[in-house]
Structure formats: C-alpha cells, structure tokens
Amino acid sequence: MTEMAEETKKVNNWLMVVGLVVTGLLIGGGLTFAGYKLTQQRVPELEELETPTIPVPTMPVVEEASPSPIPAPTTSPTAGWETYANTAYGYQFRHPAGWSFTIDVSNEDPTKPLYVIRQGITSNNVDDYLMLVRAWDNPDELSLAEWLQFMKDSNALPLPVEDLDLTPNTGVGGEDALQFWSDPLSRGAEPGVCVQACPVLSVYFVHGDRAYSVQLNYLREFDEESFVLFSQILSTFKFL
C-alpha cells in the first residue's frame, strides 16, 4: 500500500508539472501571438494624422471715410452794406454803401387824420429808381387787413384797380405784408411800362401802433437787377 501511494504521488506530481508546462506554453504562445498582431497594425505617419482646423481671426476691414468737401465760403449779398435806423418811427434796414436818405414828408400835427403820412424818407444817389419809406399812425393797432380797408375807404391808398385783393401775400420783418405794382397797366400783378407813369412796387405792413409802406419807384423802365436789390433790402427790415 505504501508503495502504491508513493507511485500515485509521483504520478500526480508529474501531471502537475506537465500541466504547468502546458499552461506556460499556452500563455507564452498567446502573448507571442498578441505581440505579432500588434506589430502587424499600421501606425499612421505624423502627416497623416488629422490636424484640427483652428479658425484664424481676421481683422475687420475699416474703410477710410472720404474727407468731406470743404464748402466754399459764400459772400452774403448784403456784406459791406450800411444800416439806416429811424428811432422816431421804430424801424431799420440795411442798404448798399454810399446810399443816403432824406426826410421828405413830416406831419407831426396830431390833429391831422390818421390816413395822413406822418413821416416819409426818400433815397438819394440813385438815377433810375427811388426807394421810399412811409409811416402812419395806427393807434388802435388795426390788423393789416383792417388798416388797408380803412385806407381804401379813406381814398388814401393808391390802388392800381378798385377790386385789388387786399389779402397779405408776403412778409416784412416778421409781419404780414401786401405787395402790388401801382401803375396804369399792371393791374397790380406785374410791372408795366412807362406810359402815364413808370412802375411803382408798393409793400404795406403794420407793426403795433404804426403802419408802413416801402416803395420801389422807377424813374425809367423796370429792370430785374434793381428789383432783386429792393427785395434784399426788404429782407433786412427790422422793428426797433
């Protein structure tokens, strides 16, 4: 029995050794095979590796603004003009240098009717036309339409035609004004020709307790240049 046990033990030991050897061979073979498979896998070259695209920021394009053109200096048509001021009747205006004015009407008597001109001035030094300014009292401070109707009813307003529309059609110094031509042929709308009398452009307006007219009185035929000049003078008219 002892001998058999010994034999059995030897056999078992031998089988164990064989099992270990076989197991070692299997493990080694597996590792060898795995290493072989790894060596067969292709490692991509560096240049084949996909490089992520990083957006490069771009600077915004700023367009240079074109330089603004420098406006050419403009000369006022009234540059160099002089000022006529009438403190007694509360107005002033500018006129070409060298012009002068003379008081040609003066009625300070308070007993005279309101339609009588209180003061009038006339320009000097002009050959073809005259500029005249007339002033009346307007103690009730009538509106322009009311004062014009009063003057018409008093036969003190020289109208080109009886049915002339007295509605204001322009302005002077911030006040409504009525402008019309006073000559036999124009009927108020436009300058006529010198027949019985030469054209007269009349502009009427009121301010407070005064009423005024400014006239361009032609001594010869109408001309555009003097009409423009007269309009520029009127544009400078102010009340004191």
CB 125 within 8 A of CB 102: no
pTM, to two decimals: 0.69
Tokens found for residue 50: 């996909």
The pLDDT, as a whole number, for residue 46 is 47
pLDDT in tens, 88-117: 999 999 999 999 999 999 999 989 999 999
User: What are the backbone angles phi and psi of residue 103, rounded to the nearest 5°?
Assistant: -75, 115
Q: Please report whether residue 73 resides in a domain.
A: no
Q: Are residues 95 and 189 in the same domain?
A: yes
Q: Please report whether residue 74 resides in a domain.
A: no
pLDDT in tens, 140-183: 999 999 999 999 999 999 888 888 899 999 999 999 999 999 86
The set of residues, in sequence order, having a beta carbon less than 8 Å from that of 112 and lying 6+ positions away, is: none
Q: Please report whether residue 62 resides in a domain.
A: no
Checking DSSP bridges between strand 238-239 and strand 82-86, what pairing results, if any?
unpaired
Q: Please report whether residue 175 resides in a domain.
A: yes
Q: Are residues 88 and 158 in the same domain?
A: yes
Per the structure, the complete domain to which residue 106 belongs is given by 82-239
Furthest C-alpha separation in the chain: 179
The pLDDT, as a whole number, for residue 207 is 98
Q: Which residue has the higher pLDDT, 55 or 156?
A: 156
Q: Are residues 97 and 182 in the same domain?
A: yes
Total domains in the fold of the chain: 2
Q: Are residues 115 and 220 in the same domain?
A: yes
Q: Residue 194: which pLDDT band, with cuts at 50, 70 and 90? A: confident
Q: What is the CATH number of the domain that holds 132?
A: 3.40.1000
Of 228, 194, 186, the C-alpha closest to 77 is 228
On average, the pLDDT of the chain sits at 82
Mean pLDDT over 17-30 rounds to 55
Q: Are residues 105 and 222 in the same domain?
A: yes
